[in-house]
Amino acid sequence: MRLRVIAVGTRMPGWVDAACEDYRRRLRAPWRLTMTEVTPARRGAGSGAAAQARALEARAIGGLLGERDYIVALDEQGSEWSTRELASWLGDVRGNGEQLVFIIGGADGIDAQLLGRARLRWSLSRLTLPHALARVLLLEQLYRAASLLAGHPYHRA
């Protein structure tokens, strides 16, 4: 199953790139993970600057999405799951032939239009996380859930 992460933001710190690459490498068949970075939109001054930036980022992300993609938006208002719940969900959607696409928005979140296209809104935590850490946490949890499904001892809780 193909897993894609589309994240707004470029030039992450070295520790983020190293951790993401480590988890991407650990995910083995049948899981294939790719990450695509989208350049953040410039934030201007004014009351509509954040909304305008979100719209521009959504347009860039939308150009990377296919019709059959199962879109999961990482959103603070989304559902919170345990690792076992995530693994169960991954197991359920694994055989549907769709590509899972996880979207991490920019500094001001994800545009409402793009949120509307998502089949699922998922919150990694009630805490506010920096985008760099959200990437690492997402990939680690995908790896942990895949390990749990495979009966690998990585998940011990």
DSSP 11: S
Please give the model's pTM, rounded to 2 decimal places: 0.93
Note down pLDDT in tens along the chain; length 157 residues: 899 999 999 999 999 999 999 999 999 888 999 999 999 998 877 778 889 999 999 999 999 999 889 999 999 999 999 999 999 999 999 888 789 999 999 988 999 999 999 999 999 999 988 889 999 999 999 999 999 999 987 766 6
Q: In this structure, which amino acid lies at residue 87? A: A
The rounded distance, in Å, linking the Cα atoms of 66 and 88 is 25
The rounded distance, in Å, linking the Cα atoms of 150 and 127 is 29
**What is the widest separation between alpha-carbon atoms in the chain?**
52
Would you say 4 and 101 are in contact if contact means Cβ atoms under 8 Å apart?
yes
The CATH number of the structural domain formed by 2-150 is 3.40.1280.10
